[in-house]
Amino acid sequence: MLNLPQIAIPASLSPEQHAAFEALRAHVMALEEFGRRQEVLVRELRNLLHGKRSEKLTPDERQLSFEDLEIRLADSEEEGKDR
C-alpha cells in the first residue's frame, strides 16, 4: 500500500480548495484501508486452498469456509462501491 507523507496544507488555499484537499486525503485513506482488507481476504483464501489446515478439512467444511469467505468478499466489495 501507499505510504503517503503527511503534507501540510498551504495557508494560501481557499476554503473550497482546503475542503477538496481534505476530501481527497480522506478518500485515499479509505482506499488504503479497503486494499488492506482485500489483502487479508486474499491471504485467507490462499491459506484455505494451500495451507496445512486445508488438507484436514472435509469437503463440507471446505465449502462452508468458501461460502464464509465469499460473503466477506461481497461485503467488502459493497463497501468499495460506496466510496
Q: What is the pLDDT of residue 53?
A: 61
pLDDT in tens, 46-81: 888 887 765 677 888 888 888 888 898 888 878 777
| 28 against 53, higher pLDDT | 28
Residue type, 53: R
Contact 73, 41 (CB under 8 A): yes
Q: What is the pLDDT of residue 40?
A: 92
CA distances from 4 to 25, 34, 36, 56, 67 (A): 10, 16, 15, 42, 35
**Model-level pTM?**
0.65
Read off the pLDDT of each residue in 6-12 and give the average, rounded to a whole number: 81
Tell me the pLDDT band of 19, cut-offs 50, 70 and 90: very high
